[in-house]
Amino acid sequence: MSQIGRLSAISFAALTLLAAAEGTQACSSLLVGNKASADGSVIIARNEDYYINNWNKRLVLHAARNAEKDEVLSFKNGLKVPAPAHLLRYSGLMDWNGDTPSGDGLYEERGVNEHNVAVSASNSAEVNERAKKADPLIDSSVVEAAIPSLLLPQARSAREAVTLLAGYIDHYGAGEGNGVLIADQQEAWYMEIGSGHHYLAYRVPQDSYIMVANGLRLHDIDLDDSANVVASPGLADFVSKHGLLDKVDRRRFNFAKAFGVIGDRYNVDREWLGQHLLNPSLTQKIRQQQYPLTIKPEKAISVSDVARVLRARFDGTALASVKDADRPMGVDRTIETHIIQLRADMPAELAALTWQSFGSPAGALLLPLYEGALKDVPQPLRQGSASYDTVSAYWAFRANASLAQTQPAKYGPLLKAWQGKQEARLTTQQAAVDGMLRSLHATAPDAALAFANQWSNGMMLWGVQSARDLNATLLTDITKSTEKKYSPAELEKIKGL
């Protein structure tokens, strides 16, 4: 029996429902403290979901440079910010048309700079009508499309990135409700923007994680805890003045309730699911108004665990039988997924390891990139658009997910088995590569960085080629499956013509 035939009995529900989610832009995120992760790394991770299925990304490397005299950082929405005197080297995962007149903005979405500060922006979040009226959002201000491009050229620590973003919102205002993930090798911060001028940032406890969907999440925050909290000026007084909370408690401040929309099934289903997967013995009712902000995981969280969360569906859970539970994690309109590890035990240039996939994570490989050592952008990440091509990484993986959906019961298991086999290989290899690079860097740092660059490029090329090989298998079987079945007599007659 063929490989496809052997696997066709395995269920792969992720593909059968990929297209069922609502058509709004959204994301799912996970932040993990360094004492909650399996290898001691700080982890921030996110599915970048879009409002349409087809959308490509390009990886861009920005060299460190000195700013021109009176240089201004200008963004498509009209925001203009004076450039810092020196701009740091950083990477950005830009929209395929982000730097062209046809684009809506850069939308670099995620990146790491030379000081191992990582930013992932953003989780779109709904702002409630009372908050909008009290402090309206501002069009030509700080928005998702600009946030990584503002912070990464400047921040030398995660806390500095938080402070920078806070300062920009104080000065220019904000145009959207957003959740921003910021981290370095020591700590992770989660920052929410709830109105035109109000925000709250919270440092993730080292032994815990935060699961985020598309609702504002920050609650039970001590506004006087300056070591772990950064809040907009006059936040509590503003909320009290405008009646955004029935009672304002500075020691257990509920930012999400004041500025957001809590209890929306679109969001709380994913919050519950993520916490259920990482703490399976924790009993929580489905569809609560709010779930705990931080939780200590039952076991240390690995990259594979993070991937499992970002690919998760409701099968086998209390939400499986709920008819309107139709928004799981990775969906058909997920355009990329990133899991960024910041490792304190690696040389600085090798500390940031990004596991990157394209298209829905249910049908793609997470491939490792040493962000700080990259000198060359892998060819599949340099080009592409919203139209199919045979070069870009996005279309190599996106095409397979689309083909598998033609017969999910038959091709879904093949896709899942391929993914599991290849990622197990990558995970096993990575520990050995890290160890080798750590040793090599101690005696020959330039050689170590050159190898890390080549390895990153090679892994992306290998992963894309593996996807194309699978594509050939799928297409061959799909075209063969359209053959008409003839009787032996008819077949002999046709062969004789």
Catalytic residues: 27
Point out which residues pair with 174 in neighbouring strands: 142
Nearest to 303 by CA among 190, 431, 188: 431
Backbone torsions φ then ψ of 193, nearest 5 degrees: -110, 120
Q: What angle do CA 32, 35, 37 make, to 5 degrees?
A: 50
Distances, alpha carbon 23 to alpha carbons 18, 51, 53, 364, 497, in Å: 12, 5, 9, 21, 52
Torsion of CA 471, 108, 326, 362, to 10 degrees: 30
- Please give the C-alpha separations between residue 472 and each of 46, 379, 479, in angstroms, as whole numbers: 30, 21, 11
User: What letters, b where the CB count within 10 A reaches 16 and e where it falls short, cover 295-329?
Assistant: bebeeebbbebbbbbbbbbbeebbbeeeeebbbbb
Distance of CA 384 to the CA centre of its chain: 20
CA 334 from centroid of its chain's CA atoms: 9
Q: Which of 91, 59, 143 is nearest to 358 (CA)?
A: 59
Q: Which of 32, 24, 74, 30 is nearest to 49 (CA)?
A: 24
Within 221-264, residue ranges assigned H as helices are 235-241, 255-259
Measured CA to CA, the distance from residue 441 to residue 435 in angstroms comes to 10
Report the residue count for the chain: 497
Rounded CA-CA distance 446/42 in Å is 26
Contact indicator for 434, 346 with CB cutoff of 8 Å: yes
| Furthest C-alpha separation in the chain | 89
Closest CA to 10 of 409, 437, 443, 439: 409
List alpha helices for 81-157, DSSP H: 129-134, 147-151
Task: Give 49: exposed, middle or buried? Use CB within 10 Å, 0-12, 13-18, 19+.
Answer: buried
Whether the CB-CB separation of 319 and 351 falls below 8 Å is answered with no
DSSP 379: G
CB 145 within 8 A of CB 122: no
